[in-house]
Every structure is written in C-alpha cells, then in structure tokens.
C-alpha cells in the first residue's frame, strides 16, 4: 500500500527531455517509483487520474516578494494555483532577517508597498534561522531565502551615503556568513534602493567572497535597467569574476527606450563571461511592464538619511524643484538614468484608502484630470501615502523578453508583489503565461524546454539534490496541468484571477490545489542551504 498513485499522465521530468507516458507512485512525501503499471497492480490510499495531463515538477519562482504575505495570508492561492511549489524570498536587498528592532521599523516602512503591513503581525525573529523556523510552522509552498545586503548595511551603517569602514565591512561579512550558516541560499542586493545603492563595487566584492566560501549565489537588482543597463550588468559580472561567487541576474531585462532591441547585447555579454568560466544564471517574468514603488524613481541623494529625511525633502520647495528637474530633464538613477515619462507610470496600489481613486491611472492621467503638473501629483501621492504607493512601469520590449527567455541560463521569476489595489498580474499569472503564451501560442519555447527552465534549472542554481525533477527519491512537489488548456487569466485590469488548466498541485505529496480548488493544507517548509558542493546538473 502506498499513499498516492498518479496514473495516465505524460511525465515531463524537468531535465528538458520529452514527455513519456508513465504512472507516478508517491509515498511519505517522496516519489518512490515511475513506470507503467497494470490497473489494479498497485494499491494506494488515493489515485489521481492524470489522463490528458502533464505531470511535471512544481515550478520554482526564483524572485518572489512574499516575505510577509506567505505568513500573514497562508492561503497563498496566487502562487500555488500557478503550480509554484518553491519560491525564493529576501529579494532586492531589503527584507526581514537578519534584523534588529530599529532596522525592522525602517524596513517595514520602506517596503510596505512590497509586503503590506499586516495587522498584529508577530515579528518574533531577528535572525535568518528564526525566520526560517517561522516558515517551518507551516506555509502553502516551500521557500528559500537570500540575505538582503541593504538590510545588512542599514543595521551596520544606517542610511548614510558613504563607503563602509573596514570594521563595518567585517561586521556585514560576519552577519552574512551567519545567515548562510543558518540556511540562506545566497545574498540579494537592491542597488537602486536605499541604502544598498550606497555600496561601491569593492564592498560588494568582499561580501560576495563570503558567498563563494559558503557556496551561495549573488542575486543583484543592479544599478540600472535603463540607460546604463549594460554597464550595470558588466559591474555585476565583474563582481562575480573577482569574488568567485555564482551570479544570478534576477529580473534580467533590458527596459526603457534606449534598450529597444538590445537584449541580444546582454546575451553576448553573458556568453562571453560564461566562456571565461563565470557561473551565471538569469530569471525573467513573461510581461513587458515592471513594478516597484513610486518612491523608487527618485534620485538617490533625496533618500539619504531614511524615510523621514526623504519626506522632508519632498515637502521642501527647493528640493522639489531640483527633483522635478532631474526626473523630467536629466533622468534620475532611481529611474535607471532615463527621463521620466509620466504616461508610463500607472498607480498599482496605495496604503491610504483616501487615495484609492488613483489606482489604475497613470500619473499623467491623474494630473490631466485635476489640472496639475504630473510632478505635483507625484509629490502629493508620496507624501499623503507615506511612501507606500506602488506602480506599474510600462517600459518593456517584447523582442528583448523573448530573446532572453530563450537563453540557456534562463529561469522563471515572477517578481510578484501580492498587495495593493491593482497589483501586477504576474502575481497570479507568471507560470501559466509561460506555458500558454510563449509555448503553445507563440512557440518561443518547446514545452519540455520551458518546464526545464521553470524546474530543473532553478533547482540546480539552488543546489537542490532532491527537488526540481520528477525522479525516484525526489520530493513529490508536482504540478498537473492540461497542456492544451492551461492559461493565465490575470489581466492588468483584473489581476487577481486564478489560472485555468492546473487542476492539481502537490507539495511533498500533499495536494494544495485539488480539482482546481485550494485546500487548507500547509505542507510547505523552509529550504535551507546545506552544502557548498554543487549537485550533478539535472
């Protein structure tokens, strides 16, 4: 007698190999056999008829912003209904472990637009180990964690724009090493966000040497995805080269008008570095617009000193004039060196309910409706919403998206913000969109290759030796989907819509999606880095 028998499906195992008709036997949360069995030859507590369905490894979201939401709202339907069974948290250099009390208050305020501010939330942890232990109490899908470099800098230096002293750098390295020892898989940076942006290349190299020592990887949100994108990618590759650490170029895009058609230039740079022996992977989301906070497009000088100092500058007429000039005439580092086009900035969410009418409109549309300059609307929203406003930024190029997703370093990452009145539809649609839009409809990727991008390849980056494939002995993290019917239904107008054609999702052999509906199961746990040794490539 076994726990579960999945019969009649086409197994696409995550290695890139074509699918084969096979039954999958699961016991005690792991795959114990794969083969073709005569009806009645095996006894199981439960049988799932997968006729007409693909049986694949659960999808791995390499860039998630669910750090608090996965705990505060354990249903987590947005992710598990897409087939996600593992997501990587701690992104963009700002998160909640390790952390002390003053930094926790500052980080919560700074990234409220990413995570919300859950009521009566228990922040009882201060270390990476404490956060991972909290995840182990039960979550919808599994989660791995990156130590956030910006949070380290805030704890040790604060929000000052200056180089770290030798003692401060040693302390950041100590905290990073401690986080890796406690199970973090690597380190993230947010180099357009305060205070991570104040670290120079040499500081980042020293931190990445710690990553190399522990077998972790570096996942940077780099200094520019716009006018200086290629130079910024070059800096990240040089950091990996000098430090010897693995590099994961997260949300690897070439956005804004200066980069139209230049995705191939990025790929040529990556190919050269790979040929030189640099270990590089990437992730992308299958959409054109990006998403961030409205405050992110400000020039970095305005954010020095933290949120209160920033709000004071936003209220000062001279500073407002300077900021407006840089936004509209020069291009700020926060807006990736590009002049701000207010028509491309759509309000995605607000914390202040009195501002809810702004959601779904561009800054330019709001300004026209009240006969005010766009910059006035910009400052008004930031001040009245206490910097918590989120935006969609319509600056992508389809030819770049397709070129990058076809590259052999590519994995999938939603970069999803789950909160706000109108979040980016990638929060609910990223993985089914790959399967419908870019496999079935456009043929950019073959189905087995796409599944490899979303499962086996990211598992290899995470150094997982028993997840990411449909293979005997592996954890039964599985998604069953209809290859002809799977599709995303989340749209920019109606983003919180569950995908179609994904009737079953299992985490450790436990259904979290059953016949298309969310169960109440919370079988997910923290995935800890356990070894510096790289596994055999899936």
Model pLDDT for residues 501-529, shown as the tens digit of each residue: 999 999 999 999 999 999 999 999 999 99
Looking at residue 119, its pLDDT comes to: 79
- pLDDT band for position 534 (cuts 50, 70, 90): very low
Looking at residue 39, its pLDDT comes to: 83
Looking at residue 341, its pLDDT comes to: 96
Looking at residue 41, its pLDDT comes to: 86
Please check the confidence at residue 537 and state whether its pLDDT lies above 80. no
Per-residue burial over 141-179, b = 16 or more CB atoms within 10 Å of its CB, e = otherwise: bbbbbbbbbbbbbbbbbbbeeeebeeebbebbbebbbeb
- pLDDT band for position 538 (cuts 50, 70, 90): very low
Please check the confidence at residue 536 and state whether its pLDDT lies above 50. no
Looking at residue 121, its pLDDT comes to: 87
Please check the confidence at residue 1 and state whether its pLDDT lies above 90. no
Please check the confidence at residue 297 and state whether its pLDDT lies above 90. yes
Looking at residue 34, its pLDDT comes to: 97
- pLDDT band for position 441 (cuts 50, 70, 90): very high
Looking at residue 531, its pLDDT comes to: 60
What percent of the chain shows pLDDT beyond 70?
Answer: 99
Please check the confidence at residue 13 and state whether its pLDDT lies above 70. yes
Which pTM value belongs to this model? 0.94
Looking at residue 116, its pLDDT comes to: 87
Task: Please say whether the beta carbons of 480 and 493 come within 8 A.
Answer: no
Locate all alpha helices (DSSP H) within 262-397, ordered by sequence: 263-275, 307-315, 317-325, 363-370, 374-384
Residue range 79-88: mean pLDDT, rounded: 98
Structure token pair of residue 494: 């109606």
Query: Distance between CA 109 and CA 58 in Å, rounded?
Result: 33
C-alpha distances in Å from residue 39, one per residue of 44, 117, 332, 480, 520: 12, 52, 65, 20, 31
Looking at residue 533, its pLDDT comes to: 43
Residue range 8-19: mean pLDDT, rounded: 98
Q: Is 232 left (phi over 0), alpha (psi -120 to 50) or beta?
A: alpha
- pLDDT band for position 190 (cuts 50, 70, 90): very high
Query: Distance between CA 140 and CA 131 in Å, rounded?
Result: 16
Please check the confidence at residue 14 and state whether its pLDDT lies above 90. yes
Query: Distance between CA 178 and CA 159 in Å, rounded?
Result: 22
Residue range 118-134: mean pLDDT, rounded: 93
Residue range 446-474: mean pLDDT, rounded: 98
116-125, 134-143, 252-261, 356-365: least confident range:
116-125
Average pLDDT, the chain: 95
């Amino acid at each position: 007698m076994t726990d579960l028998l999945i019969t009649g499906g086409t197994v696409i195992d995550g290695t890139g190999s074509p699918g084969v008709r096979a039954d999958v036997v699961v016991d005690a949360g792991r795959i114990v056999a794969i083969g073709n069995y005569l009806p009645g030859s095996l006894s199981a507590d439960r049988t799932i008829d997968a006729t007409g369905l693909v049986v694949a490894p659960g999808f791995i979201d390499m860039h998630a912003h669910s750090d608090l939401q996965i705990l505060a709202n354990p249903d987590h339907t947005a992710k598990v209904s897409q087939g996600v069974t593992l997501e990587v948290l701690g992104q963009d250099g700002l998160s909640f472990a390790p952390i002390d009390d003053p930094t926790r208050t500052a980080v919560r305020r700074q990234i409220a637009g990413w995570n919300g501010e859950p009521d009566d939330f228990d922040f009882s942890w201060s270390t990476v180990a404490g956060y991972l232990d909290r995840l182990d109490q039960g979550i919808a899908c599994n989660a791995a964690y990156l130590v956030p470099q910006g949070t380290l800098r805030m704890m040790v230096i604060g929000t000052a724009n200056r180089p770290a002293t030798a003692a401060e750098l040693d302390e950041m390295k100590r905290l990073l090493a401690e986080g890796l020892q406690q199970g973090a898989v690597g380190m993230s940076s947010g180099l357009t966000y305060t205070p991570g942006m104040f670290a120079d290349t040499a500081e980042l190299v020293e931190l990445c040497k710690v990553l190399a020592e522990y077998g972790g990887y570096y996942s940077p949100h780099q200094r520019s995805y716009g006018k200086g994108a290629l130079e910024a990618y070059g800096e990240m590759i040089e950091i990996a080269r000098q430090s010897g650490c693995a590099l994961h170029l997260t949300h690897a895009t070439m956005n804004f008008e200066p980069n139209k058609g230049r995705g191939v230039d990025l790929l040529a740079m990556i190919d050269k570095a790979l040929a030189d022996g640099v270990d590089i992977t990437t992730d992308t989301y299958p959409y054109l617009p990006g998403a961030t906070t409205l405050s992110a497009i400000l020039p970095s000088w305005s954010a020095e000193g933290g949120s209160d100092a920033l709000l004071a500058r936003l209220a000062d007429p001279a500073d407002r004039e300077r900021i407006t000039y840089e936004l509209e005439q020069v291009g700020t580092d926060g807006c990736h060196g590009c002049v701000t086009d207010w028509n491309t900035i759509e309000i995605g969410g607000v914390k202040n309910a009195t501002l809810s009418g702004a959601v779904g409109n561009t800054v330019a549309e709001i300004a026209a409706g009240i006969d005010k300059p766009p910059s006035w609307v910009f400052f008004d929203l930031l001040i009245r919403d206490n910097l918590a406003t989120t935006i969609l930024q319509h600056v992508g190029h389809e030819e770049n998206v397709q070129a990058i997703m076809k590259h052999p370093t590519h994995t999938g990452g939603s970069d999803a913000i789950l909160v706000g009145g109108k979040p980016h539809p990638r929060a609910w649609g990223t993985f089914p969109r790959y399967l419908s839009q870019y496999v079935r409809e456009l043929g950019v990727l073959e189905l087995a290759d796409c599944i490899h991008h979303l499962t086996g390849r990211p598992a290899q980056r995470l150094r997982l030796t028993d997840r990411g494939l449909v293979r005997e002995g592996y954890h039964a993290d599985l998604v069953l989907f209809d290859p002809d019917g799977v599709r995303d239904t989340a749209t920019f107008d109606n983003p919180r819509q569950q995908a179609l054609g994904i009737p079953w999702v299992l985490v450790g052999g436990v259904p979290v999606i059953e016949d298309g509906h969310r169960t109440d199961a919370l079988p997910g746990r923290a995935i800890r880095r356990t070894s510096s040794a790289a596994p055999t490539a899936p």
